[in-house]
């Protein structure tokens, strides 16, 4: 998957920008606050996902402008394609000039993997970030997954509302059966899909971590369900277990007025030699864990759709020592890379690719590495 050309208008501090990209490395550099991350964020939006910085759509439009427009020519699935994203209150999109119902429908047509310093939260923070990572990754290779996720969230909201109402209207208790059955059916699919995805991801992540860290310690990943279910079982079997657990937990749910168990409470244990990476990992080890997860995600995407995603590395390389940087660059050959940094010299060893200097959201210079 390769981006050939991108046009950006009124997106964050980028008033107007048009750029032809190299098939290999693209180094976007410049001083702080010049629009490097904004550029990466613009590219990321073509995956159909929300901003990786957690920004609301409205925040993406340049101050004072009515809407932001993004356009991209890219090569994927063996042909040249064109995508458009507009942000005007909410995001809209078109693929090959055909309007889509929502920007999320771009998922699977253009794939990218992004890593920025904010992604350290994947290890540092609680389970929410890990669930977001796994859900976003699955959406890229299984676009229909988003519908299951949305349906689960909707049923969960309804069950939670019911739990609140039961406190005043005990006769509503009997209706819990219906919501538990619906919740269990979506929950089982989510749990099974996430656990299977993690099983595929683990060997790649372990190998990359070993490469980045020089085989010093072993990375472990494990899906930890809040329910007592065996993820190796089939979806109908998991559904039965989920239902049993939901029923057993009803008393507690009614007391706390929220659903305490389910995929919305699940976690992924990330360990180094068996110890929690969050509790015991150093800053460098935690960064290597996230990089390993992201690089493994690239491999899963390639295995599933037959081509590598575009790799977006925002302000990452400068924080790695020379050996780790070399390992990563070698490991990433054959993929289109967009990397940001403050100093072009961070990549002085590159023998191909281009560097683009940004200033005030504008392209100042374009130079080739040779």
Out of 8, 27, 36, 146, the only residue in the binding site for ligand ATP (CB under 6 A) is: 36
In this complex, which beta carbon is closest to ligand ATP, that of residue 10 or of residue 299?
10
Among 26-34, 90-98, 118-126, 211-219, which window interacts with ligand ATP (CB under 6 A)? 26-34
Q: Cα angle vertex 188, ends 184, 189, to 5°?
A: 125
36 annotated ligand binder: yes
Euclidean distance between CA atoms 60 and 81, whole angstroms = 24
Out of 5, 18, 20, 33, the only residue in the binding site for ligand ATP (CB under 6 A) is: 33
**13 touching ligand ATP, by CB under 6 A:** yes
Euclidean distance between CA atoms 29 and 151, whole angstroms = 42
32 annotated ligand binder: yes
For the segment 297-316, give every residue that binds ligand ATP (CB under 6 A): 315
Which candidate, 285, 290, 262, places its Cα nearest to that of 129? 290
**59 touching ligand ATP, by CB under 6 A:** yes
38 annotated ligand binder: no
In the 8-state DSSP scheme, what is residue 52?
Answer: T
Query: Measured on CA atoms in the order 32, 313, 286, 195, is the torsion positive or negative?
Result: positive
Among 36-44, 207-215, 226-234, 255-263, which window interacts with ligand ATP (CB under 6 A)? 36-44
For the segment 206-245, give every residue that binds ligand ATP (CB under 6 A): none
**185 touching ligand ATP, by CB under 6 A:** no
- Whole-number minimum distance, CB 38 to ligand ATP, in Å? 4
- Whole-number minimum distance, CB 26 to ligand ATP, in Å? 15
**34 touching ligand ATP, by CB under 6 A:** yes
- Whole-number minimum distance, CB 13 to ligand ATP, in Å? 4
Out of 1, 6, 26, 38, the only residue in the binding site for ligand ATP (CB under 6 A) is: 38
31 annotated ligand binder: yes
Euclidean distance between CA atoms 94 and 100, whole angstroms = 5
The pair of structure tokens assigned to 103 is 């920007």
The pair of structure tokens assigned to 47 is 């995956």
Out of 3, 6, 44, 62, the only residue in the binding site for ligand ATP (CB under 6 A) is: 62
For the segment 323-342, give every residue that binds ligand ATP (CB under 6 A): 342
Euclidean distance between CA atoms 279 and 113, whole angstroms = 26
Pairing relationship of beta strands 79-88 and 68-76 according to DSSP bridges:
antiparallel
- Kind and range of the H or E element at 275? strand 275-276
Q: Are 265 and 127 in contact (CB under 8 A)?
A: yes
**116 touching ligand ATP, by CB under 6 A:** no
Task: Specify whether the backbone of 369 is left (phi greater than 0), alpha (psi in -120 to 50) or beta.
Answer: beta
Euclidean distance between CA atoms 73 and 4, whole angstroms = 5
Binding residues for ATP: 30-37
**Binding region for ligand ATP (CB under 6 A):** 12-13, 30, 32-38, 59, 61-63, 315, 342
């Amino acid at each position: 998957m390769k981006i050939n050309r991108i046009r950006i208008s009124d997106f964050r501090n980028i008033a107007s920008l048009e750029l032809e990209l190299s098939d290999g490395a693209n180094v976007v550099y410049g001083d702080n606050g010049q629009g490097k991350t904004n550029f990466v964020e613009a590219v990321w939006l073509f995956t159909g996902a929300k901003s990786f910085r957690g920004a609301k759509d409205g925040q993406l439009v340049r101050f004072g402008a009515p809407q932001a427009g993004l356009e991209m020519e890219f090569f994927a699935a063996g042909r040249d394609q064109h995508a458009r994203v507009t942000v005007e209150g909410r995001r809209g999109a078109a693929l090959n000039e055909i309007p889509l119902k929502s920007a999320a429908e771009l998922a699977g047509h253009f794939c990218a993997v992004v890593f920025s310093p904010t992604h350290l939260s994947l290890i540092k923070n609680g389970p929410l970030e890990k669930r977001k990572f796994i859900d976003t990754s699955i959406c890229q290779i299984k676009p229909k997954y988003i519908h299951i996720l949305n349906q689960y969230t909707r049923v969960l909201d309804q069950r939670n509302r019911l739990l609140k109402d039961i406190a005043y209207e005990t006769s509503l208790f009997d209706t819990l059966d219906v919501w538990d059955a619906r919740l269990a059916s979506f929950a089982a699919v989510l749990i099974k899909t996430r656990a299977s995805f993690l099983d595929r991801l683990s060997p790649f992540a372990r190998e990359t971590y070993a490469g980045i860290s020089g085989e010093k310690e072993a990375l472990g990943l494990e899906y930890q369900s809040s329910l007592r279910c065996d993820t190796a079982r089939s979806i109908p079997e998991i559904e039965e277990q989920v239902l049993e657990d939901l029923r057993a937990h009803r008393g507690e749910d009614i007391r706390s007025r929220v659903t305490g168990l389910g995929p919305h409470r699940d976690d992924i244990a990330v360990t180094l030699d068996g110890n929690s990476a969050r509790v015991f990992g150093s800053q460098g080890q935690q960064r290597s864990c996230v990089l390993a997860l992201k690089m493994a995600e690239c491999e899963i995407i390639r295995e599933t759709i037959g081509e590598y995603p575009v790799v977006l590395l925002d302000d990452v390389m400068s924080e790695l020592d020379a050996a780790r940087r070399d390992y990563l660059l070698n490991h990433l050959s054959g993929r289109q890379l967009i990397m940001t940094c403050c100093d072009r010299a961070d990549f002085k060893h590159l023998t191909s690719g281009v560097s683009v200097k940004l200033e005030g959201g504008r392209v100042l210079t374009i130079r080739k590495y040779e």
